[in-house]
């Protein structure tokens, strides 16, 4: 496809969360990671609207 590709690497260690594993991302303690991801989606949506 011609769809643009973007990837993000989330670092739980850098956020002070330690090892969280795959499912740990969905636990309340990982909210800082969710907020970053939601902000990223919002920026993408804003960019698409501006285009």
Q: What secondary structure does DSSP assign to 2-45, as a single string?
A: ----------TTTTT----HHHHTTSGGGHHHHHHHHHHHHHHH
User: What is the reported pLDDT for 46?
Assistant: 93
Which carries the bigger pLDDT value, residue 39 or residue 4? 39
Stated pTM of the model:
0.56
Q: What is the mean pLDDT of residues 14-37?
A: 89
Residue ranges per domain, the chain?
21-50
Q: How far apart are CA 42 and CA 44, in angstroms?
A: 5
């Amino acid at each position: 496809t011609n769809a643009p590709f973007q990837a993000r690497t989330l670092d739980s260690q850098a956020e002070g969360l330690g090892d969280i594993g795959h499912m740990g991302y969905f636990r309340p303690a990982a909210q800082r990671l969710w907020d970053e991801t939601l902000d990223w989606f919002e920026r993408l949506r804003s960019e698409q609207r501006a285009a």
